[in-house]
Chains A and B, each alone.
Chain A
Amino acid sequence: MTTIILYTVLTLSIIGVLSAIILYFVAQKFKVYEDPRIGQVETALPGANCGGCGFAGCRAFAEACVSKGELADLFCPVGGNDTMGGVADILGIVAEKKDPRVAVVRCNGTCEHRPKTNFFDGPVSCAIASTLYSGDTGCQYGCLGCGDCVVACDFDAIHMNPVTGLPEVDDEKCVACGACVKACPKTLIELRKKRPKDRKIYVSCRNQDKGGVARKSCAVACIGCSKCEKECKFDAITIANNLAFIDSDKCTLCRKCVSVCPTNAIIEYNFPPRKVAVAEQPVSVPEKPKEVTVPISSEPKSSEL
């Protein structure tokens, strides 16, 4: 009885040792060298796998960082400068600091401003609606309101406002991964420079029609009158295709353009109410300052603008 046990143990041990030796040599022969830094970089990344960096997940981004050896075109929007600093430390280089960005929806065509001309009862998908036709209002550039951006967001940072029918970005949660930018078939969403206290000034319109046509379809459309362009002392505003655009890198948040806009297409957000400016410039619509004090998530924009 004992001999049987002894033989069994011995045989199995010998097989085990032999296999280990064979496996060792095979492993040496077919060894794939992996830079240990890839693993380290991956651990330093947020692990959201959102694809905001342009790569298929954090692992692919880590591989790209290590293989390139520099971080010129590589940036993790989720982790921001801190994470990239960590990555740079691992690689022994210095990371270039980038301004944090935030997604901004450039359409203010609420039901009030932009009356519905028809009703879409197909599947709730902007992609499908936009392949079928121009949209349920007179403006072919405006938000379709089916919420593809909401579905695309991995960070719960964008939601539809049921009153306005437009998506709203939660600045706290938005990491500027750009998923919503890609999801929007009307290219309404833009990543803009994040400013102190989440202040923003932007043209909330993408309508490239001529002024009259644009105005007819939406009360708050940009008509390309170029008044704001003339007002801006910092060359931050450009007009192209009947549409104004404020460069968030050049804008100094002086708010002068907001008051000259005849259609209220330029939106100021998170600013304190104006004191003197309102009294001096009766041209601007008086409700304006009221709106800017309201946090975007709790109050519908439509009633205010």
Chain B
Amino acid sequence: MLKTFKIGGVHPAENKLSASKAIEVLTLPKTVFIPVGQHIGAPAEAIVKKGDKLMVGQLIAKSSGFVSANIHSSVSGTVKKVETGPDTSGYPKMGIYIDVEDDIWDEQIDRSAELKSEINLDSAAILAKIQNAGIVGLGGATFPTHVKLMPPKGMKAEVLLINGVECEPYLTSDHRMMLEHGEELIVGVKLLMLALNVDKATIGIENNKQDAIAKMSGLVAGHKNISVVPLKVKYPQGGEKQLIKAVTGREVPSGALPISVGAVVTNIATTYAVYEAVQKNKPLFERVVTVTGKTVKNPSNFKVRIGTTVSELIEAAGGLPENCGKIINGGPMMGKAFANTEIPVTKGTSGILIMPEKEAKRSETMPCIRCSRCVSVCPMGLEPFLLMTLSEKQMWEGAENEKVMDCIECGSCSYTCPANRPLLDFIRLGKVKVGALIRSRKP
């Protein structure tokens, strides 16, 4: 029997429309807007000013703390201005506008496509390279990778898990990455193992990506300490805690980090970025984004420079369909709708999903019928209906006691609710309020 996590989970329609489309390199945009805060933690500080000439890969904003990440220019050209610009949340965020001129790369970046598999660096050097390259978790959470790779004192990483699950419906960027860059990924895994000083790595892939499982299994055949584990198809298996449970059987305690059970999880795209940063000296300034949707003419996987606007990607995929209801940043389960398409692609943009009006519309909310389906599907073992009520009644302490902060916002509860109750919306509000409450208690 295939491995999977124990409690909860749903199985939405997969709709992997772009799974057979090879990764295409998108043409360069005319201007880019690169926000300085693309990660969890402190925003980076801009170190360029208006009129500066930039090369591709040049550092333009420096990390301003331990939990922060460097930002590099994704294009060559001139800095137009350093100003606030649009963000997915609609609130303006500081960033750097660059007018694109040519495509001149930093000389240190190795642009050749050939595989460089020999590793001649030690753990500290690898970590430094990862930190300098500004690599963050590319699955969507954008947690700085170097922080993840440096466990706090007293904790030791035992196993490295590579997240090739891609359980979100529609998204296919990691799937394509495994098919097209499997060799590089294995080198990336080895680099991460070396950086973490662990002797075991497991690549978890859901069983609906047979070709990727076959390819990766073939590649790891020669490596004793790297294995590929096919997993039963179940959402949200790509969640860090769910993947650890599925692969190792260990459960991350409430409120703790995965490192507390000796596991470190990195996503496929992040592993590839690590390979490029360490072996090719290439900082993180481009990523693969899936542009998809049932009404989209040409669902594709694009390799785009950070800072390209969402509208350009949609244009490249055949333009905005007529009956578009929502454009979603990410997948249909966890993604949030864009309020505007003139928003740049950032390190955390894993996909752009265009939903037709009929599907995008929310159905009428009805009273809770106490069927407890939300409880049975919650992968964290919470009681979503209760959390929603507590949040509605503004009983924040109650919500805290019911472990609202453990919610991973996977949306399984809202997906499964027969009364169409906006469970996750209220739970998210509860998380914001309880989070503020917890912070206010700290002296």
Contact = CB atoms under 8 A, between A and B. Distances in A.
Interface string B82-116: 00000011111000000000000000000000000
| Dominant SS among interface residues on chain B | loop
A131 B432 contact: yes
Nearest to A139: B90
A135 B90 contact: yes
Interface in B335-372: 336-337, 339-340, 361-362, 365
Contacts of B247: none
B429 A125 contact: yes
A140 B432 contact: no
B90 A140 contact: yes
Contact of A123 (B92, B426, B432): B426
A117 interface: yes
Contacts of A133: 88-91, 336, 339
Interface in B306-356: 336-337, 339-340
Interface string B409-434: 00000000000001001101100100
A128 B339 CA distance: 15
Given A121-B361, A132-B89, A127 B425 contact: no
Contact of B362 (A121, A125, A128): A121
Contacts of B88: 133
Contact of A128 (B89, B361, B426): B426
B429 A128 contact: yes
A117 B92 CA distance: 15
Contacts of A135: 90
A282 interface: no
Contact of A122 (B89, B90, B422): B422
Interface string A56-95: 0000000000000000000000000000000000000000
A123 B428 contact: no
Nearest to A183: B394
B339 A134 contact: yes
Nearest to A133: B90
Contacts of B361: 121
Contacts of A117: 339-340
Contacts of A131: 428-429, 432
Contacts of A128: 422, 425-426, 428-429
Given A131-B432, A140-B92, A118 B340 contact: yes
Contacts of B422: 122-123, 128
A30 B89 CA distance: 59
Interface in A106-134: 117-118, 121-123, 125, 127-128, 131-134
A134 B91 contact: yes
A136 B90 CA distance: 9
Contacts of B92: 140
Contacts of A123: 365, 422, 425-426
B425 A122 contact: yes
B363 to A, nearest CB: 10
Interface string A11-44: 0000000000000000000000000000000000
B91 A140 contact: yes
A128 B88 CA distance: 16
Given A117-B339, A117-B340, A121-B362, A134 B425 contact: no
A270 B365 CA distance: 41
A128 B432 CA distance: 10
Interface in A138-196: 140
A126 to B, nearest CB: 10
Interface in B179-234: none
B339 A118 contact: yes
Contacts of B337: 118
Given A121-B361, A123-B422, A123-B425, A132 B340 contact: no
A122 B336 CA distance: 11
Contacts of A136: 339
Nearest to A121: B362
Given A123-B426, A140-B91, A140-B92, A132 B336 contact: yes
Contacts of B362: 121-122
Contact of A134 (B90, B365, B432): B90
A75 to B, nearest CB: 25
Contacts of A134: 89-91, 339
Contacts of A127: 429
Contacts of B425: 122-123, 125, 128
A121 to B, nearest CB: 5
A223 to B, nearest CB: 17
A213 to B, nearest CB: 9
A118 B336 CA distance: 13
A82 B392 CA distance: 36
Contacts of B89: 132-134
A137 to B, nearest CB: 10
B227 to A, nearest CB: 40
A79 to B, nearest CB: 26
13 contacts: A118-B337, A118-B339, A121-B361, A122-B422, A123-B365, A125-B425, A125-B429, A128-B425, A131-B432, A133-B91, A135-B90, A136-B339, A140-B90
Given A122-B362, A131-B432, 8 more contacts: A118-B340, A123-B425, A127-B429, A128-B428, A133-B88, A134-B339, A140-B91, A140-B92
Interchain residue pairs A-B with the least CB separation, the first 10: A134-B90, A133-B90, A123-B422, A118-B339, A134-B91, A131-B432, A133-B89, A123-B425, A128-B429, A121-B362
Interface of B: 88-92, 336-337, 339-340, 361-362, 365, 422, 425-426, 428-429, 432
